[in-house]
Amino acid sequence: MTGAPTRALALPVSNLPGGENDWDEKIKEANEVYSGRVHNICCDNCHSHVAYALNAMEIKAFGISKWDMVKLALLVFFKGRFLSFTGLVAQFLPSFVMLAILLLSISLS
């Protein structure tokens, strides 16, 4: 499943160990590694892809030096900013609809 990003987190990357050129190279490296992988929701997803790139760049931010999909997902969830109101709705509306259906079905039982 693909789509436009709904949330983003700015990382302080002004002091990259390898400089700006390293940024591009490590992104390419992560893209090459993940181009051959099947992304899935639980084990190897877009958060894993980004964590791979951050580890390759040796970025240390928010007290994290060893990145993984769980740390990244939690950090983006709690510290990230929505890019638009539409992004906020797109991210939470399906959950609220499912919760409403569940509560309605329980109340009718």
Q: What is the pLDDT of residue 22?
A: 84
Average pLDDT estimate for 1-16 = 78
Q: Is the pLDDT of residue 98 over 90?
A: yes
**How many CB atoms are located within 10 Å of the residue 33 CB?**
14
Q: What is the pLDDT of residue 2?
A: 64
What is the DSSP annotation of 47-64? HHHHHHHHHHHT--BTTB
Q: Is the pLDDT of residue 102 over 90?
A: yes
CB-neighbour burial class of residue 102 (10 A; exposed 0-12, middle 13-18, buried 19+): exposed
This prediction's pTM = 0.77
Nearest to 1 by CA among 93, 90, 95: 90
Residue length of the chain: 109
- Half-sphere exposure (CA, 13 Å, Cβ side) for 64? 19
Higher-confidence residue: 20 or 29?
Answer: 29
Q: Is the pLDDT of residue 17 over 80?
A: no
Domain extent listing, the chain: 16-108
Could you read off the pLDDT of 33-88 as tens digits, one per residue?
999 888 888 888 889 999 999 999 988 889 999 999 999 999 999 999 999 999 89
